[in-house]
Structure 1
Amino acid sequence: MDRITTMNAFVTVANEGSFTKAAEKLDISNQLVSKYVSHLEELLNTRLFNRTTRKVHLTEAGEQCFQHAQHILESMNDMEGYFGQLTQEAQGILNINAPVSFSTLHLAQLLADFKLKYPAITVNLQLNDRKIDVIEEGFDLALRIGSLKNSSMIAKKLASVRLVLCASPDYINKHGKPNSPEELIPEHYLRYSHMESHQNDSPLLNILTQKKYRQGANFVSNNGEVLTAAAVAGQGYVYQPTFIAGEALKQGKLQIILPEFEPNPVGLYAVYPHRKLLASKLRVFLAFFDDYYGSPPYWDHFNT
């Protein structure tokens, strides 16, 4: 038998001074009210009421139980009111994990616009490029880029992400444009250390993840912006998402090479634990993020 319902029946009888009046207030039968109170007395192994033909009176134990039960029910009402308000008004701390370069280049403005619309939400943004456990590390969601593996997490695609191989005009003038991935010079590869071979099934990526390219590269970094700047400076060729290289491509500081070997786009995903009963803060953030960058996203607005 539900203890909250039982306590509610007991408190109502105590307030009304009558089982009949309590039954009328609760809109249930007199017998059911009596059953609830009897169950509570059995549970506590004590008499809560002294009953007469006209009225019921709390015993000394009943007085103490009444104080406790009333406090519990008030706390329950406060909790229901609080969470009911949360579902109506988005508020609270939204804990987000996101990749470094994408966030520094493109997430700041989105979060500023989001905060203007939802000022009651506090954003806690943590940046790193390693794979994190959303639940274990206490995040509401993580932004991830790539072809996601199967998992129990929910993944919502937010934008497409192109991966391109590019080099500066100076590099191309000096070394020429390759006609196939096999013509790429391993020592000139500006390699991103977190690149995963399973991200995309493409001949170009298969070449770049070969041992001679992984070990032959003379510039390796875990930051795509640094590698892209090195490519702009003519130090080699770089394989990066267009959300990093797009501005340099737009300005002509970089040019796409081997465009015919460009792999299919991957995705920018929001990854979170549950689909049902989403907290309002997360629900409104996902809705706000949806198509914020456009399709195709604004960083791909350059001439290839």
Structure 2
Amino acid sequence: MDRLTAMRAFVTVVAEGAFTRAAERLDTSPQLVSKYVSQLEQHLGVRLLNRTTRRIHLTEAGSAYHQRAQQVLIEIDDMENQLDDLQTQAQGLLRISAPVSFAIRHLAPLLSDFQKAHPAVGIDLQLNDRKVDIVEEGFDIAMRIGRLKSSSLVAKRIAPIRLVMCASPHYLETHGIPEDPQDLSGHRYLRYSYMEESREPALKWLRHNSGSHLSEMTSNNGDVLVEAAIAGAGIALQPTFISGRAIKQGKLQVVLPTHEPEPLGLYAVYAHRQLLASKVRHFVDFMEGYFGDPPYWDRF
């Protein structure tokens, strides 16, 4: 027995005063309505209605049950209407995980514009360069940079992420401009520590083509490495969403442009494709194309 269906049949019979009129309202047969009410009585172990050929009467138990059942059905209808609103209108708290440098440099305008378009959505943005567990840590969306492997998660590519080798003009004047990957031997390499060789082709490429181990400065933050490169500390392999402005301003110079690694991708990653919350669907759609093609940070 579908208890909610039986409960709704009972409440409708009471409201209409007859099984026939209740059946018309529920768009079903009087026999089926009667069956639902009988099943409900059997389940509860009490008689809810006294039936005569002309009228129905609530029993004492039926009167008490009717009052509670009516309230339950109202609350269920309200809850379903609220869920329907969540699916058709973007609202609620959107929890986002994003890489530190990208978020600081490029997410604030997007989030502001999104909330102007969807004022009922709150934003909880958490910055972390580690790979978060979306489900376990309660995030709606994680923004990730890399080449994503297949998983149970859904990933939508938002923008290409270009990687360039760059150094300050002063550093290159002092140490020479590499014309070939083999010329990197002896230069100082400013290494991003999360770019593991085993997982990141760009670093593997650099190791393979440099001809020898490079002396290094290591950091887990790309902004620090770019600033170090600007200060003349060495050559950095960094995404243009961090280094692009300094390149455009002449503070950094791209080296080995013909040996540029294959671009990575900026992805919006979320847990489910079906029954996707409206706030997530609207945010993912809003991000698509927002940064331009090519992204504005690559226009130098």
- Normalising TM by the smaller chain, what interval? over 0.9
Does the 8 Å CA contact 1:202/1:263 hold for their aligned counterparts?
no
- For residue 172 of structure 1, what is the amino acid of its counterpart? L
**Residue number in structure 2 paired with 1:66:** 66
What aligned pairs does 1:1-304 form with structure 2 within 5 A after superposition?
1-185=1-185, 188-197=188-197, 198-200=199-201, 204-207=205-208, 212-213=213-214, 216-217=215-216, 219-302=217-300
| Residues 217-261 of structure 1: CA deviation (Å, up to 9, x unaligned) | 1x2111101110110011111110000000011111111112222
Q: Secondary structure at the match of 1:177?
A: coil
Q: Which amino acid aligns with 2:259?
A: F
Change (3 A) 1:210 1:135: farther
CA–CA distance in structure 2, aligned partners of residues 32 and 243 of structure 1: 65
Identity among equivalent pairs (%): 57
Q: Flag as ranges the 4+ runs of structure 1 deviating above 4 A.
A: 208-211
Structure 1 position 191, deviation (Å): 1.1
In 1, the alpha carbon distance for the partners of 2:37 and 2:200 equals: 63
Contact 2:185/2:211, CA 8 A, preserved across alignment: no
In structure 2, distance between residues paired with 1:161 and 1:108: 18
Q: Please give the alpha-carbon distance, in whole angstroms, between the structure 2 residues aligned to 1:206 and 1:6.
A: 70
TM-score, normalised to structure 1, is 0.93
Output the TM-score relative to the length of structure 2: 0.94
Moved more, 198-207 or 292-301: 198-207
C-alpha change, 1:238 and 1:12, in structure 2 (3 Å) is: same
Q: How far apart, in 1, do the equivalents of 2:87 and 2:288 lie?
A: 20
- TM-superposed CA distance for 1:111, in Å, is 0.9
The one-character-per-residue Cα deviations of 1:203-227 (angstroms, maximum 9, x if unpaired) are: 63343899944xx41x211110111
Alpha carbons of 1:120 and 1:259: their partners in 2 closer, same or farther (altered >3 Å)? same
Q: Summarize the Cα distance change of 1:210–1:276 in structure 2 as closer, same or farther, 3 Å threshold.
A: farther
- 1:49 offset after TM fit, Å? 1.0
Q: Secondary structure at the match of 2:136?
A: coil
Of the structure 1 ranges 125-134 and 16-25, higher mean CA displacement relative to structure 2 is found in: 16-25
Q: Secondary structure at the match of 1:190?
A: strand
Is the CA contact (8 Å cut-off) linking 2:159 and 2:295 kept in structure 1?
A: yes
Deviation at 1:185, TM superposition (A): 4.4
CA distance in structure 2 between the aligned counterparts of 1:111 and 1:46, rounded to whole angstroms: 57
- Mapped to 1, the partners of 2:130 and 2:207 lie a distance apart of 22
Give, in whole Å, the separation in 2 of the partners of 1:253 and 1:151: 40
SS at match of 1:135: helix
Question: Is contact 1:164-1:262 (8 Å) kept?
Answer: yes
In structure 2, distance between residues paired with 1:260 and 1:146: 21
Seen in structure 2, the aligned counterparts of structure 1 residues 202 and 231 have a Cα distance that, compared at 3 Å, is closer
Relative distance call for 1:25 and 1:71 in structure 2 (3 A) is same
Q: 3-state SS of the aligned residue for 1:275? A: coil
CA contact (8 A) 1:204 1:261 kept: no
Distance 2:100 2:81 in 1: 38
